[in-house]
Amino acid sequence: MNKPIIDYLLHLADNSLILGQRNAEWCGHGPILEQDIAITNISLDLIGQSRSFYQYAAQLKNDNTTEDSLAFFRTEREFKNFLLLEQPNGDWAQTILKQFFFSSFQFLLFQQLQKNSDETLAAIAEKSLKEISYHLRWSSEWVERLGDGTEESRNRILNAVNNLWRFTGELFIPAAYETELGIELNSIKENWQEKINEIFKNATLPILSNVFFQTGGKTGNHTEQLGFILTELQYMQRTFPGCEW
Amino acid sequence: MVIMNKLNFNKETIYTYLKEIKDPEIPVLSIVDLGIVRDVKINTDGLEIVITATYTGCPAMDMIATDIRMQLNKLGFTNLKISTIISPAWTTDWISDAGKIKLKNYGIAPPNKRFLIASNGVECPRCQSINTKLISEFGSTACKAMFQCDDCCEPFDYFKCH
């Protein structure tokens, strides 16, 4: 009976976990110390969000499920994150653009979710939104800086746009569980496009059209990248089930 | 070790004990100063301490819960429940005035409503200059931003409005 809400919570949790894990790969490798700290702080916020969603999903499932079992013992096909978020970090431009696309989306979606009739979901959204506004401002500034920067930075962010744009269509194609829960993605799509247009204009970047969109992540059909992430993420718990620090 | 006479306590005395527990990241502030403790409930089956996280990913939360448990256990409270709430969302408005002064004396600029978004000009906690610049919106912990004072030339943290 709780199926759509559990699927949706897992989708939200997986999004945050997978991007959080990707961003954490930058730990100790950021271009300068301050930005290394920024990207890992964002990673921490995202992992915090995913914990809240997993905890709530585990509570609703009301069996032996825990936040840890959801993160560490589900297989690739059970993960419902966007394809966008599992893509490799590539260079700084690609990492930034991925974060910017996602933060813009989360910012709009969570504004809608904080009014959701499910009080726990609404509370998690409201709390996360405070942090997301930082992520959005930080990543927007970086997109502008890279696009309107040097020839080198511009080429890199253009390359990132070419690589990642094809994964943005999926954000707005509702999965069955979203339709059942009445999650409204059309208005978010419009506002998201407006935000992208605004920042891309400041960054002097082109808006791509006629791109074939890749889909499948929301329903568990992933690119080969997710397997590599899970291998690293789940290694300890798979090898020593239930181990604790 | 003093074992509390359990007939002889109320909400206020419990708060006094909780005020002795410091935030692991900012050891000059107690968890009460920070607004992490939201409620103390004296239930028939024991004590319930209600806490909230500052930021969703705050890694100190588990440690804070353990510290509360240890502090109250050693005072003889063993029937203890620590529950976490997420709503209403934590805000820097809950940091007590005493807490803000402690922050400043510790070298962290306290949250200031004039700088809802961290930007140049936050007062330097060392020399009070406003000739300061933002280095990064993210500092050593999620709740702080990094600044540099152009008068005393020292770096400092600003506790961001949240």
The CATH number of whichever domain residue A230 belongs to comes to 1.20.1260.10
Q: Which residues of A touch B162 (CB under 8 A)?
A: 130
pLDDT, tens digit, 9 for 90 and up, residues A173-205: 999 999 999 999 999 999 999 999 999 999 999
- Residue of A19, A40, A44 best to disrupt the B interface, most CBs of B under 10 A: A44
Is the CB of A131 less than 8 angstroms away from the CB of B53?
Answer: no
Q: Which residue of B has its CA nearest to A17?
A: B57
Is the CB of B56 less than 8 angstroms away from the CB of A131?
Answer: yes
A106 and chain B: CB distance < 8 Å anywhere? no
Rounded to an integer, the average pLDDT of A72-84 is 98
CATH code that applies to domain B11-90: 3.30.300.130
In single-letter form, the type of residue at position B162 comes to: H
Nearest to B120 by CA among B146, B91, B153, B93: B146
Q: What percent of chain A has pLDDT over 70?
A: 100
CA distance B157 to A90: 31
Q: Which residues of A touch B135 (CB under 8 A)?
A: 34
Spatial strand order in the sheet of B46-51: B37-43, B46-51, B80-84
How would residue B5 be classed by pLDDT, with cut points 50, 70 and 90? low
Q: Which residues contact A188 (CB under 8 A, 6 or more apart)?
A: A105, A108, A109, A112, A172
In our burial notation (b when 16+ CB lie closer than 10 A, e otherwise), range A141-158 reads bbbbebbebeeebbebbe
In a domain, A245, yes or no: no
Is the CB of B89 less than 8 angstroms away from the CB of A130?
Answer: yes
3-class secondary structure for chain A? Answer: CCHHHHHHHHHHHHHHHHHHHHHHCCCCCCCCHHHHHHHHHHHHHHHHHHHHHHHHHHHHHCCCCCHHHHHHCCCHHHCCCCHHHHCCCCCHHHHHHHHHHHHHHHHHHHHHHCCCCCHHHHHHHHHHHHHHHHHHHHHHHHHHHHHCCCHHHHHHHHHHHHHHHHHCHHHHCCCHHHHHHCCCCHHHHHHHHHHHHHHHHHCCCCCCCCCCCCCCHHHCCCCCHHHHHHHHHHHHHHHCCCCCC
Rounded to an integer, the average pLDDT of A130-141 is 95
CA atoms within 13 A on the CB side of A46: 27
CA distance B72 to B48: 11
DSSP states of B47-63: EEEEE--SSTT-TTHHH
In a domain, A244, yes or no: no
Is the CB of B89 less than 8 angstroms away from the CB of A41?
Answer: no
CB atoms within 10 A of CB A198: 12
Q: Which residue of A has its CA nearest to B160?
A: A134
- Helix or strand holding residue B83 (H, E): strand B80-84
How would residue B117 be classed by pLDDT, with cut points 50, 70 and 90? confident
How would residue A48 be classed by pLDDT, with cut points 50, 70 and 90? very high
In a domain, A35, yes or no: yes
A139 and chain B: CB distance < 8 Å anywhere? no
Return the pLDDT at B2.
47
Q: Which residues contact A20 (CB under 8 A, 6 or more apart)?
A: A43, A44, A45, A46, A47, A49, A50
CA B113, B119, B123, B124 torsion: positive or negative? positive
Return the residue matching tokens 């990707």: A22
Expressed as residue numbers, the domain containing A29 is: 3-239
Return the residue matching tokens 């007062």: B123
* CA-CA-CA-CA dihedral for A67, A69, A71, A73, to nearest 10: -170
Total number of domains in chain A: 1
Q: Which residues of A touch B138 (CB under 8 A)?
A: 34, 37-38, 41-42, 134, 138
A30 and chain B: CB distance < 8 Å anywhere? no
How would residue B1 be classed by pLDDT, with cut points 50, 70 and 90? very low
Q: List C-alpha distances in Å: B73 to B14, B79, B126.
A: 12, 9, 39
In chain B, where does the domain assigned CATH 3.30.300.130 lie? Answer: 11-90
User: Is the confidence at residue A47, as pLDDT, over 90?
Assistant: yes
Residue of higher predicted confidence among A178 and A244: A178
Averaged pLDDT of chain A: 96
Closest CB to B142 among A34, A44, A120:
A44
pLDDT, tens digit, 9 for 90 and up, residues B41-84: 998 888 999 999 998 888 888 899 999 999 999 988 989 999 99
The answer to whether B139 touches B156, Cβ cutoff 8 Å, is no
Q: List C-alpha distances in Å: A3 to A6, A8, A181, B131.
A: 5, 9, 10, 56
Looking at residue B135, what DSSP letter applies? E
Residue of higher predicted confidence among A2 and A208: A208
* CA-CA-CA-CA dihedral for A186, A188, A193, A194, to nearest 10: 120
Rounded to an integer, the average pLDDT of B10-15 is 92
A153 and chain B: CB distance < 8 Å anywhere? no
In a domain, A113, yes or no: yes
